[in-house]
Amino acid sequence: MAEENGVIRVSISDVNSRGQGVAKVDGKVVFVPFSAAGDALDIRVTKEHKNFSEGEVVIMVEPSGDRIAPDCPMFGKCGGCSLRHVSYEAEGRIKKATVEGALRRFGLRDVTVNGTLLPRPERYRNKATLRIGDNGSFGYYEKSTNTLVQLGGTGCALLPEEFCEIARDAAAVVSRDGLRDVSVTLRRSADGEIIVLLTLGEAPGAAVEGDLVRAIAGGHENVTGIVVEIGRSRRERVIFGSGVMELRQFGLDLALSPRSFFQVNYEGAEMLLDVIDRYAGETGFSECADLFCGTGVWGLALAKRFPEKRFYGADIDRGAIRDAKENAARNGLRNVKFFAGDASRIPEGYAPDLVILDPPRKGCSDGMIGALTGIMPEDIIYVSCDPFTMARDAAKLTERGYVIKEVTPVNMFPRTEHMETVVLLSRK
Ligand SMILES: C[S@@+](CC[C@H](N)C(=O)[O-])C[C@H]1O[C@@H](n2cnc3c(N)ncnc32)[C@H](O)[C@@H]1O
């Protein structure tokens, strides 16, 4: 390996979903942020670890054909995106390879992974929380810190432009009226309506409240509601319009408050639901348990699409279950019931033939895997936001009587390291 003044020439063989290219120097793996497979680079090693090193690009010698010019000035600074320097098609390949790598790691070598489904990557997020800083600034907090990464003129390329315009107008009032500890959560419906939740360190006077309403609703006709919350009280007060957003999505009429959990990418979520729907349709199930159901979107949408089947949703979050029940009633769905509680505590005698699992990033506990193998449903549809824990849990299920039938990555979070994967497992 030619080395001069600590600069080493390498070629990048692979890229992980965090946008880190992989090169080898004297047999040891070096991760190089923001590189692309096929790049020839001069790099410098910045940190040595026992089994790998970290490096940085000094000179781009020959760029990979996957490279594109990043279309956001904040790329590499704000920490939100990891894949804005490669084409969107290459991103799909990288994410598919991430799933394949995770499966291999757990011994699942012969599984075929479908191509990644790719919703539009531009300004897709329908919800964001922005922090207001001093002197009219606003932006995100750097990961695990209180340092504000300010969003400049073009805002954040993941968000509707209007989110940053509203935050900018709110920040001007915050700065002028001396408010402290303010953040603004924005949620946009698929039709473009926006509701805004302002979290304030202390109660604003009536005059300041009026200023906020004028700046936010007066200047942005799509804003249909403004809600304030003081401190962490979680007590919300509507100061303009409606505090609930009406949303027509997945063939359902839904009502969302600013805080209730909902998929952040409408098009990506529709794609994901279509995969669940197709897998479910192939199984011929009659009773489905939607575990870790959150506000119940998968179960509700399937209950509408399969009116002759029965559904049961469970989630530990009582607020989410309240929303799920309200939305079931709103849509007149009588074939779905929701319960608040630990998903692994499946009631005695209950034996669904299809289980949908959508756990948090950490995946399923041993108790959850044990509960599943206690009832042995014919089919399991596993929706996962972490390929690593998905592969770990899928491997456990394959040791306990299941085979993996199909794996589909869905690029729910374009340009970032994150994604969803939908896996169909069936009894052998
Ligand atoms: C990835 S989210 C699923 C969201 C949901 N499927 C949706 O699309 O709206 C994971 C959910 O798991 C729930 N959860 C976490 N631990 C749980 C447990 N032990 N039992 C039941 N639900 C749990 C969380 O409250 C959260 O709603």
**293 Cβ below 6 A of ligand 1:** yes
User: Is residue 156 flagged as an active site residue?
Assistant: no
Nearest ligand 1 atom to the CA of 342 is: 20
State the closest ligand 1 atom to the C-alpha of 294, by its place in the atom list counted from 1.
27
316 lines ligand 1 (CB under 6 A): yes
Query: What pLDDT, in 10s, does the model give residues 373-413?
Result: 999 999 999 999 999 999 999 999 999 999 999 999 999 99
Q: Of 249, 292, 322, 325, which is best to mutate to test ligand 1, by the most ligand atoms within 8 angstroms of its C-beta? A: 292
* Residues composing the chain: 428
Distance 380 CA to ligand 1 centre (A): 16
The minimum-distance atom of ligand 1 relative to the CA of 290 is: 6
Cβ–ligand 1 contact at 106 (below 6 Å): no
Q: 380 φ, ψ to 5°?
A: -130, 130
Classified as helix, coil or strand, 322 is helix
Instruction: Per residue of the chain (428 residues), give pLDDT as tens.
Output: 556 678 999 999 999 888 899 999 989 999 999 999 999 999 999 999 999 999 999 999 999 999 999 999 889 888 899 999 999 999 999 999 999 999 999 999 999 999 999 999 999 999 999 999 988 899 988 777 788 888 877 789 999 999 999 999 999 999 998 888 999 999 999 999 999 999 999 888 899 999 999 999 998 999 999 999 998 777 889 999 999 999 999 999 998 888 788 999 999 999 999 999 999 999 999 999 999 999 999 999 999 999 999 999 999 999 899 999 999 999 999 999 999 999 999 998 999 999 999 999 999 999 999 999 999 999 999 999 999 999 999 999 999 999 999 999 999 999 999 999 999 999 99
Ligand 1 centroid vs 360 CA: distance in angstroms? Answer: 6
Nearest Cα residue to atom 13 of ligand 1 = 292
Q: How far is the CA of 293 from the centre of ligand 1 (A)?
A: 6
Token representation of residue 360: 């948090």
By C-alpha distance, which of 350, 415, 420 is closest to 19?
415
Pairing of strands 354-357, 287-291: parallel
| Domains, the chain, with CATH or none | 3-66 (2.40.50.140), 89-120+264-427 (3.40.50.150), 127-256 (2.40.50.1070)
* Short-list 83, 112, 98, 117, CA closest to 411: 117
**317 CB within 6 A, ligand 1:** yes
Answer for the pair 423, 359: CB distance below 8 angstroms, yes or no: no
Distance 361 CA to ligand 1 centre (A): 10
What token pair was written down for 214?
């004028």
Output the pLDDT for position 6.
Answer: 84
How many of the other CB atoms lie within 10 Å of CB of 214?
A: 13
Compute, in angstroms, the gap from residue 358 CA to the centroid of ligand 1: 7
**CB distance 91 to 15 below 8 Å:** no
| CB of 343 closer than 6 angstroms to any ligand 1 atom | yes
pLDDT (tens digit per residue) in 227-276 = 999 987 778 899 999 999 999 999 999 988 887 889 999 999 999 999 99
What pLDDT is attached to residue 1? 53
Which entry of 78, 164, 364, 385 is annotated as an active-site residue?
385
Q: Is the CB of 294 under 6 A from ligand 1?
A: yes
Top mutation candidate among 127, 256, 315 for ligand 1, by most atoms within 8 Å of CB: 315
258 C-alpha to ligand 1 centroid (Å): 18
Question: Nearest residue CA, atom 27 of ligand 1?
Answer: 294
Cβ 10 under 6 angstroms from ligand 1: no
Whole-number pLDDT of residue 73: 86
State the pLDDT at residue 147: 83
The CB of 357 under 6 Å from ligand 1? The reply is: no
Amino acid at 378: E
**Is 358's C-beta closer than 6 angstroms to any atom of ligand 1?**
yes
Specify the pairing of strand 236-241 against strand 223-230.
antiparallel
Q: What is the pLDDT of residue 4?
A: 66
> What are the beta bridge partners of residue 183?
131, 199
**Pocket flag, ligand 1, residue 342 (CB < 6 Å):** yes
CA angle 90, 78, 22 (to 5 degrees): 40
Count of CA atoms in the C-beta half-sphere (13 A) of 109: 1
